[in-house]
Structure formats: structure tokens, C-alpha cells
Amino acid sequence: MLVLVLRALPVSLRLSWRLPGCTSWGGTQSRGISYLAGAMRLVQFQTSSDGPRIGLEEKDGGNVIDLNAFDPSLPRRMREFLEVGDAALAVARRAQESGQHILPRAQVTLLAPIPNPGKVICVGLNYADHCQEQNVKIPEEPIIFSKFPSSVTGPYDEIIHPAESQEVDWEVELAFVIGKKGTHIKESAAMDHIVGFMVANDVSARDWQMKRNGKQWILGKSFDTFCPLGPAIVTKDCVPDPHKLGIRCKVNGELVQDSNTSQMIFKTQALVTWVSQFITLYPGDVFLTGTPPGTGVFRKPPMFLKRGDVVQCEIDQLGALRNKVI
């Protein structure tokens, strides 16, 4: 009876009724990262017989609910799924509560949560501690640059070390994903346009970023596989404050970046407002919000990635990317 009443309500009401209920999943610890119980973790995945499909990951590394099996009318690509908007998220919540269509993790390969974002918008020098490390002033306005979307790769895929670069470097970053189209978005409305958060590695060929190509960053930032994303889009209702999260990068197990998103200079809402005065934001657009200190190029002596290295980028409550360099 309760279910019938709920289904009769408009989607927005149903969603707000469910917001306090990020509680259906257990498990608060995995691989030393703390998680909020119940976060909705949207993923793109494939199996040996089919894909891409959209799912919900139980927890980082956990089993996956097949949303396309739960509701065959749902799109099979994340970007189109996000274009459906709140109604698609409401179906995902129902699937999460149904306990049905659960695939064992061993049968599932995760892809990038959004393999084809319309744009990948990045922010330079956005951590106070990263500015200190380089001895540069804190920027007065966000420094916006971009990676070509074709650089996106999966959370556990290989990063291809290009023969053209001798200086391939890591950058762990908090990423967020646009869920609703908008332009000239006010800060007070910015969170309405964000669907959730994930981890990104803004892999960078420093030689091409800083010395070649007239010092335009885009080539050095956009080699194929230079943008691992994931493992999941964690919906915003389960990330109460994205600016209080531990953020780390390890290379071959050695901790090279270790900071806190509280160090971000321009926060999530401010970035949405700033960029949307120039550019219309669409569902599936991805923001990379800048990196803390400890990247290879600023180490003394500098240190760069070589073939065979494993880079792990992790953020509390969101999970970890693990990519081998080949």
C-alpha cells in the first residue's frame, strides 16, 4: 500500500522522501577507505556476453545490480541515463531496494562511469597546498582548461605510456558530474545541477604540457587513456560534504599525494557558477577540480611514470582507481 501511494507521488517528492534513507547497503570499510553506508554508486559495466550496461555497485569492488535488467526501458549509456534525469535515478533507487538482478562482481568489468562526456572541464592550481608547493600565489579566478573527452578510460584500465613523452605524471582529483542542463547557474542552485562525485586521474605529459605546443596544455593532457575515471558516480545525496574528504595517490604502493579536499580554493558550487557563465553545461559533462601537492614534476628530484608502474588514486567515500602503465 505504501509503495502504491509513493508511486502516485511526483518523482521530485518521492526523491526527497528517500533522501534521508542512504541506508539500504551495509559495509562502511573497504581497503582502508571509509564509506557512507548506502551510497548509490552508478556504474557502466560489461559482462562476457553483453555491454555496456548501467548498474549500481554495492560498494567499491562489490556486486552490481543490473539496472537495464530491472527496467529494460532505461538507456544503456550513462550519458543518456543522466539525460532522463530524476526519473531515472528514482528507478535506480527502486532497483537498489528490490534486491533483484544482482550480478556477482566476478562476472562484471567496470568501464568508465561516463565513457563519452560532452566535455571534460579541468581546474588548474586549485589546492592551496599545491600553490604553496610551487611557490605561486593563490589564483584570484579559477584557471580553466580541458582534456579531450577521448582521453577517458576505465577505473582499472591500462594507461598507455606514449613514446612521444618522457615525463608522464599523475594527478589525483575530485571529479563531479553534471546531471541537469544549465547556463548562468547561481551558486545557491549549483548542487541541483550535479548528480554525483567520482575519482579522476588527470594524467599529464609534462614535456608536452609545459614546454612544447606553445605551452598550450591540451595536448599534454589529452593523450589516449590519460583520464581514468570512476570507479562509480557516487550520488551527491550520499556525499554530505565533498570538501572534507581525504584524497591520496600511490605509485607502486608509495604514498605520493596525501591531502584533503578542504584545501580546494574554488569549491564545487563556485566552479559550476564560474564556468556556466561562459558555457552551457549538459548532463554527463565532467569537472576535474584540481590536484593537491605531490605530483612527480614538482618532486625533488622529479619522478615520472614508467611502464609497469601501478597508480592508485583514492578519495574517501568514493573509492579508488587502479591503473597500470604499459
- Taking the least distance from each CB to ligand NAG, the nearer of 85 and 246 is 246
> Which 293-322 residues touch ligand NAG, going by CB under 6 A?
316
- Write the CB contacts of 134 (distance below 8 Å, at least 6 apart in sequence): 125, 298
Amino acid letter, residue 54: I
- When binding is defined by CB under 6 A, the residue of 30, 246, 298, 299 that contacts ligand NAG is 246
Phi/psi for 105 (5° steps) reads -55, -35
Closer to ligand NAG by Cβ: residue 51 or 246: 246
Least Å distance, CB 89 to ligand NAG, is 28
Q: How far is the CB of 314 from ligand NAG (least distance, A)?
A: 11
Alpha-helical runs (H) found in the chain:
2-8, 11-18, 67-70, 78-84, 86-98, 128-134, 206, 218-222, 268-276
List all residues 6 or more positions away from 32 whose beta carbon is below 8 Å from its beta carbon: none
Position 244 contacts ligand NAG (CB under 6 A): yes
Q: Which residue is nearest to ligand NAG (CB)?
A: 246
Query: Least Å distance between CB 316 and ligand NAG?
Result: 6
The smaller minimum CB distance to ligand NAG, of residues 20 and 32, is found at 32
Q: In the stretch 200-239, what mask flags binding to ligand NAG with x, by CB under 6 A?
A: ----------------------------------------
Residues in contact with ligand NAG, counted by CB under 6 A, come to a total of 5
- If the CB atoms of residues 109 and 262 are measured against ligand NAG, the closer one turns out to be 262
Nearer to ligand NAG, 96 or 261 (CB): 261
Specify which residues 319 forms β-bridges with.
315
Distance CA 112, CA 120 (A): 13
In the complex, the smallest distance separating the C-beta of residue 234 from ligand NAG, rounded to whole angstroms, is: 16
Residue 296: strand, helix, or coil: helix
Nearer to ligand NAG, 146 or 262 (CB): 262
Closest contact distance (angstroms) between CB of 58 and ligand NAG is 23
Nearer to ligand NAG, 153 or 317 (CB): 317
Closest approach of ligand NAG to the CB of residue 240, in Å: 11
75 counts as binding ligand NAG under rule CB under 6 A: no
All cell numbers assigned to 105 = 562482481
For residue 114, give the amino acid letter.
Answer: I
Angle at Cα 264 formed by Cα 21 and Cα 119, nearest 5°? Answer: 80
DSSP notation for 148-198: -GGGEE-TTPPBP--TT-S-EE--EEEEEEE-S-BSS--GGGGGGGEEEEE
Smallest separation, CB 293 to ligand NAG (Å):
15
Burial 214-224 (b: 16+ CB within 10 A, else e): eeebebbbbbe
Contact 87, 96 (CB under 8 A): no
Q: What is the smallest separation between the CB atom of 134 and ligand NAG, expressed in angstroms?
A: 22
Residue 182 pairs in a beta bridge with 281
Helices (H) and strands (E) in the chain, counts: 9, 20
Shortest Cβ 62–ligand NAG spacing (Å): 22
Of the two residues 33 and 89, which places its CB atom closer to ligand NAG in the complex?
Answer: 33
- Within residues 258-287, the interface with ligand NAG by CB under 6 A covers 260, 262
- If the CB atoms of residues 165 and 312 are measured against ligand NAG, the closer one turns out to be 312
Residue 105 and residue 45: Cα distance in Å, rounded? 10
Is there binding between residue 31 and ligand NAG (CB under 6 A)?
A: no
Residues making contact with ligand NAG (CB under 6 A): 244, 246, 260, 262, 316
